[in-house]
């Protein structure tokens, strides 16, 4: 029977990144998944967007790791030879109450990197996207 130092359950993006990191050490690692291939579960359903780090409940481990993971992506993509572009995220508020809720979504760990912008700035961001726009799907 083969023995391993580490068993990683789940071959989605998180499990694969853990295995990648552990490959730097003198360990035998087994990456195990219920499917017959990697990235077939929630990772497969991802639209390709790297989470910006906001949204989880503030001051939680998830909030901290979301920010750290997002910050790691550019270097990891470079090391793996994968194209990567940090697009950012846009949360829209329709009134003052919505704007107040931004504090919840941003959280203290990412707040310094976020800014609240006003309609004319939003329009210039949106129109700036049109330079690269190829198609839109509306339904």
Catalytic residues: 51
Contact 99, 116 (CB under 8 A): yes
Q: What is the CB-side half-sphere exposure of residue 112 using CA atoms within 13 A? A: 2
Q: What are phi and psi of 43, to 5 degrees?
A: -60, -40
Joined together, the tokens standing for residue 33 give 């998944």
């Amino acid at each position: 029977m083969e023995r391993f130092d580490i068993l990683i359950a789940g071959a989605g993006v998180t499990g694969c990144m853990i295995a990648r990191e552990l490959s730097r050490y003198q360990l035998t690692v087994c990456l195990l998944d219920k499917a017959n291939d990697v990235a077939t579960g929630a990772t497969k359903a991802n639209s390709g967007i790297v989470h910006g780090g906001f949204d989880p409940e503030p001051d939680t481990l998830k909030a901290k790791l979301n920010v750290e993971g997002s910050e790691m992506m550019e270097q990891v993509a470079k090391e793996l030879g994968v194209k990567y572009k940090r697009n950012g995220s846009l949360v829209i508020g329709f009134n003052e109450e919505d704007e107040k809720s931004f504090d919840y979504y941003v959280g203290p760990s990412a707040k310094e990197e976020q800014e609240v912008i006003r309609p004319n700035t939003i329009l210039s961001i949106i129109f700036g996207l049109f330079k690269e726009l190829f198609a839109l799907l509306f339904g």
